[in-house]
Amino acid sequence: MAKNTLTVTDNRTGKQYEIPIEEGDVIRASHIKEIKVSPSDFGLMSYDPAFSNTASCRSKITFIDGDQGILRYRGYPIEELADKSNYLETAYLIVKGELPDVKHFRAWEQNIKKHTMVHENIKKFMEGFRYDAHPMGVLVGTVGAMSTFYPDAKNIFDLESRRLQTRRLIGKMPTIAAAAYRLSRGLPYVYPDNELSYAGNFLAMLFKMTELRYKPNPILERALDVLFILHADHEQNCSANAMRSVGSSQVDPYSATAAAVAALYGPLHGGANEQVIRMLMEIGSVKNVADMIKKVKGGERLLMGFGHRVYKNYDPRAKIVKKIAYEVFEVTGKNPLIDIALELERIALEDDYFVKRKLYPNVDFYSGIIYQAMGFPMTMFPVLFAIPRTSGWMAQWAEMVRDPEQKIARPRQIYVGEPTRPYSPIEARLEPTSREDAVSDNI
- Nearest approach, Cβ of 266 to ligand ACO (angstroms)? 9
153 binds ligand ACO, rule: CB under 6 A: no
Residue (61 or 146) nearer to ligand ACO, CB: 61
272 binds ligand ACO, rule: CB under 6 A: yes
220 binds ligand ACO, rule: CB under 6 A: no
135 binds ligand ACO, rule: CB under 6 A: no
Residue (292 or 373) nearer to ligand ACO, CB: 292
Q: Is 308 a catalytic residue?
A: yes
Q: Is 152 a catalytic residue?
A: no
91 binds ligand ACO, rule: CB under 6 A: no
Inter-residue contact 35 to 44 (CB < 8 Å) = yes
Total chain residues near ligand ACO (CB under 6 A)? 18
Applying CB under 6 A, among 36, 96, 309, 334 the residue interacting with ligand ACO is 309
Query: Residue type at 150?
Result: Y
- Nearest approach, Cβ of 272 to ligand ACO (angstroms)? 3
**Burial profile 213-224: b = 16 or more Cβ within 10 angstroms, e = fewer:** ebebeeebbbbb
Residue (171 or 305) nearer to ligand ACO, CB: 305
252 binds ligand ACO, rule: CB under 6 A: no
* DSSP strands (E only) in 58-164: 62-65, 70-73, 76-77
Beta bridge partners of 361: 306
Residue 89 and residue 385: Cα distance in Å, rounded?
Answer: 17
- Nearest approach, Cβ of 363 to ligand ACO (angstroms)? 5
Inter-residue contact 241 to 59 (CB < 8 Å) = no
Judged by CB under 6 A, the stretch of 64-72, 111-119, 268-276, 284-292 that binds ligand ACO is 268-276
From the list 65, 104, 193, 269, the catalytic residue is 269
Residue 424 and residue 66: Cα distance in Å, rounded?
Answer: 54
Inter-residue contact 96 to 221 (CB < 8 Å) = no
154 binds ligand ACO, rule: CB under 6 A: no
**What does residue 5 show for φ and ψ, rounded to 5 degrees?**
-140, 165
CA angle 59, 64, 70 (to 5 degrees): 145
From the list 115, 231, 308, 315, the catalytic residue is 308
Query: Residue type at 176?
Result: I
305 binds ligand ACO, rule: CB under 6 A: yes
Helix (H, G, I), strand (E, B) or coil at 247: helix
Chain centre to alpha carbon of residue 279: 21
Inter-residue contact 349 to 303 (CB < 8 Å) = no
Judged by CB under 6 A, the stretch of 54-62, 171-179, 303-311, 390-398 that binds ligand ACO is 303-311
Residue (39 or 49) nearer to ligand ACO, CB: 49
363 binds ligand ACO, rule: CB under 6 A: yes
Applying CB under 6 A, among 145, 296, 370, 398 the residue interacting with ligand ACO is 296
Q: If residue 15 lies in a helix (H) or strand (E), which one and from where to where?
A: strand 15-20
Q: Is 134 a catalytic residue?
A: no
Helix (H, G, I), strand (E, B) or coil at 436: helix
Beta bridge partners of 10: 15
Catalytic residue numbers, as ranges: 269, 308, 364
Would you tell me which residues interact with ligand ACO (CB under 6 A)? Answer: 268-270, 272, 296, 302-309, 357, 359, 362-364
